[in-house]
Amino acid sequence: MDASTHVDSNVVRAAKDIAYGTTAGIVSKIFEHPFDLTKVRLQAQVLDAEARFSGPIDCLKKTWKNEGIRGLYRGLPAPIVGAMVENASLFLSYRELQNLIKIVNRQHKEEPSSMSQIVLAGAGAGAITSFLLTPIELVKCKMQVQMLVTPAISSSVSSPQLLGPISVFMSVIRSTGARGLWLGHTGTFIREAGGGAAWFTTKEVVASLLVARRQNKTGTSRLTSASTKDLQLWESALSGACAGASYNLAFFPADTVKSAMQTEEELRPVGKAASPKSSFLSTFTAMYRAQGIRGLYAGCGITIARSIPSSAIIFLIYDGLNKRFG
């Protein structure tokens, strides 16, 4: 294979990773958005003097009652874009980092990756993705709490003015500059890097065990990544479901702190002359003092409940498209 053919092959492979990851992200995000909105609203109220919602079911009921179906999908455009960016970046970075690790180790790129290589590649893919995802998550979170900003609205006013994603984005730029778009990035970085390692590793471990069991390879002592061609669709879905649970359990408090930081200006305004915005550590400490571990895991139950089928959908679609079109 000459150099130009090799480059063309890599470009095609990268384009497929982006296309398949984007498709999987869109479908999964439409399914899970009402649950993600619930999670963000529960996380955002941890530092409030009085909680607006007693739990996830209460949040869903009140959102449906007060805002209807539009309320359950409040801020959907930003997560759709985020899901496209996140999954395309994750799968592309994950594959390229695996190839890079193999080059360093003088392995052929077609050789299965070891679990240690998968952990490293997954963490690296998540770290890269966090830089792209933070501004999108910021806009999403701000949109998801807009209806909570004025709970005691006057009867003479029909509803508060709700900003769209572009308006929210430009508002952040005007008030804090481009740097403000990365508010809460520490939390996103921890969640994505740690979660990426947990997500890909769990998926590969479970998939490898399922394939080995089906092929009666009971003597397998060293787990490696499973080839997409070897996986049946139900195995992709089951291993993806397990990956979704591990992703959220691993570093959920980092996501809670991030959500609180990104909605602080809307829910707990302290005036324009206030000191600089809270840091990740100070917000973490305040939340722990307010509600302990329970507060840091606010919304975790419903997040895991939605991430299991959502992650199953992602890998079902991604692996299915890979298996069908290569």
Q: Indicate whether 217 pLDDT > 70.
A: no
Residue 93 resides in a domain: yes
- More confident: 129 or 231: 129
d(CA 114, CA 38): 37
Confidence at 159, pLDDT banded by 50, 70, 90: low
Residue 263 resides in a domain: yes
- Mean pLDDT taken over the chain: 86
Average pLDDT (170-175) is: 92
d(CA 141, CA 71): 13
- In the chain, which ranges are continuous DSSP H helix? 3-44, 56-72, 77-104, 115-144, 165-176, 185-214, 233-267, 280-296, 300-325
Residue 106 resides in a domain: yes
Looking at the 3D structure of the chain, how many domains does it have?
1
Residue 156 resides in a domain: no
What DSSP string describes 78-95?
Answer: HHHHHHHHHHHHHHHHHH
Q: Indicate whether 64 pLDDT > 60.
A: yes
d(CA 112, CA 168): 44
Confidence at 229, pLDDT banded by 50, 70, 90: confident
Residue-level pLDDT at 154: 39
Strand partners, 125: none
SS3 114: strand
Residue 123 resides in a domain: yes
pLDDT, one tens digit per residue, over 207-216 is 999 888 887 7
Strand partners, 114: 224
Residue-level pLDDT at 193: 96
Residue 253 resides in a domain: yes
User: Cβ contacts of residue 199 below 8 Å, gap of 6+?
Assistant: 122, 126, 243, 244, 246, 247, 311
Residue 219 resides in a domain: yes
Cβ 314 vs Cβ 24: under 8 Å: yes
For residue 74, the domain's CATH number is 1.50.40.10
pLDDT, one tens digit per residue, over 231-249 is 899 999 999 999 999 998 8
d(CA 318, CA 162): 35
pLDDT, one tens digit per residue, over 110-120 is 888 899 999 99
Q: Which domain holds residue 83?
A: 3-147+161-325
pLDDT, one tens digit per residue, over 256-311 is 999 999 998 888 776 554 455 789 999 999 999 999 999 999 989 889 988 999 99
Residue 283 resides in a domain: yes
